[in-house]
Copies of this chain bind each other. A is one copy, B any other.
Amino acid sequence: MLNFDFYNPTQILFGKGRIADLNKVIPAEAHVLVLYGGGSIKQNGVFDEVMAALGTRTVTEFTGIEPNPSYETLMKAVELIKHNKIDFLLAVGGGSVIDGTKFIAAAALFDGEDPWAILEKRGSNVTQAMPFGSVLTLPATGSEMNNGGVVTRKSIKAKMAFSSRFCFPKFSVLDPTKTYTLPVRQIGNGAVDAFVHVMEQYMTYPVNSPVQDRFAEGLLKTLIEEGPKALATPEDYDVRANLMWCATMALNGLISTGVPQDWATHMIGHELTALHGLDHAQTLAIVLPSMLRVRKEAKRAKLLQYAERVWDLRTGDEDSRIDAAIARTQDFFEQMGVKTRLADYDLHAANIDPILSALETHRMVALGEKRDVTLDVSRQVLELSL
């Protein structure tokens, strides 16, 4: 096992009816800025429940945080905060709204001239942030219980990640019933996103970390079992609860303790979203299976463990077990309604060079757990995904 630090002070309020408890966890005198995306929370009752829980607190709204939240949009919220006496931020939505709120919380108190520097420095220059919490409506990114976010600058088509010790939500409310009305596409994307988060922290090389491995395998197996049920029976409480808790556990720092991590799939995926507007999960579903095939030798020991423990593949020679495990992974993504080929999104061989150029521009030229995913390797991965 590798040395590690673990720290995660976010309080989770999980279950039916927990939005009402916002009244307990937000200071009674706070002027609250409620941040959200489109209008879905006004249609499904979440907004009304939040407002009821906030009671007599002064509330200002900031709406329009888009999927892959943009720096341009988020800076409007920062301006709004600077011109109003806001004490507390409350993100109501999915990972994009929460990621965006993290950036806003840091940018509003940022010492430097231009908060874009937060993204250029990946958050290392953040020294404080406004207090914020979240009401999660979409299980997927894990942002509700971690300190990281991803922000897109539309003007330069750049999607940049940041994190900071100061950017943990104070609390997150997770009410699985609030996911019942989600579109099928968002449930499918969410399960794939959570699955790939686990894989980026698990599918590397063995370092004798059985607790972390079994936790990761437990999440993968649960996603495989519960994901299709979530599509088939949208109002099954336990299924939605299990999916939600998987997504949170997938990226809260727990399963990455003491183990190497990869994240090459995410980095390539980010460029696909920035250049072509694909959903984040779609990019992961395209890249991961090919990444596993191309890097089969480097990941052989873990792929065999994955085949046996997650997919119950115990017979046949090593390569056939590995190949079957990767094929099943890809089938699972398709089963969740997320297409796994570039061609499915009308992307073709001619689109690969610009993706590689973008990776080069963003210095993503030595990715993966051993920093050996060069641009050449990324090219192989993309070509295999055509």
List the interface of chain A (C-beta within 8 A of B). Answer: 1-18, 208-211, 213-215, 217-219, 221-222, 225-226, 237-238, 241-242, 245-246, 249, 254, 257-258
Contacts and interface: CB of A to CB of B under 8 A. Distances in A.
A303 B246 CA distance: 24
B210 A225 contact: yes
A173 to B, nearest CB: 11
Contact of A258 (B9, B14, B254, B258): B14
Contact of A12 (B2, B7, B13, B18): B7
Given A3-B14, A12-B6, A218 B225 contact: no
Contact of A217 (B13, B213, B214): B214
Contacts of A211: 218-219, 222, 242, 245-246, 249
A217 B214 CA distance: 9
Contacts of A10: 7
B210 A242 contact: yes
B210 A218 contact: yes
A15 B2 CA distance: 7
Given A12-B7, A15-B4, A241 B258 contact: yes
Nearest to A239: B208
Contact of A14 (B4, B11, B217): B4
A146 to B, nearest CB: 14
Nearest to A12: B6
Nearest to A7: B11
B9 A9 contact: yes
Give the number of times this chain occurs in the complex, counting copies.
2
Nearest to A15: B3
Residue among A210, A219, A242, A246 facing the most chain B CB atoms (10 A cut-off): A210
B14 A209 contact: no
A15 B215 CA distance: 20
Q: Which of A16, A215, A257 has the most CB of B within 10 A?
A: A215
Given A211-B218, A211-B246, A5 B12 contact: yes
Contacts of A241: 1, 258
A222 B218 contact: no
A245 B14 contact: no
Nearest to A3: B15
A1 B3 CA distance: 33
B221 A214 contact: yes
Contact of A3 (B16, B209, B219, B246): B16
A242 B242 CA distance: 27
A128 B245 CA distance: 31
A14 B258 CA distance: 8
A172 to B, nearest CB: 10
Interchain residue pairs A-B with the least CB separation, the first 6: A3-B15, A214-B218, A9-B9, A208-B238, A7-B11, A6-B12
Contacts of A222: 210-211, 214
Which of A3, A15, A238, A242 has the most CB atoms of chain B within a 10 A radius of its CB?
A3
A12 B5 CA distance: 5
Nearest to A14: B4
Contacts of A16: 3
Nearest to A213: B218
B1 A5 contact: no
A224 to B, nearest CB: 11
Nearest to A208: B238
Contacts of A15: 1-4, 258
A356 B13 CA distance: 38
Contacts of A217: 214, 218
Contact of A215 (B9, B11, B218): B218
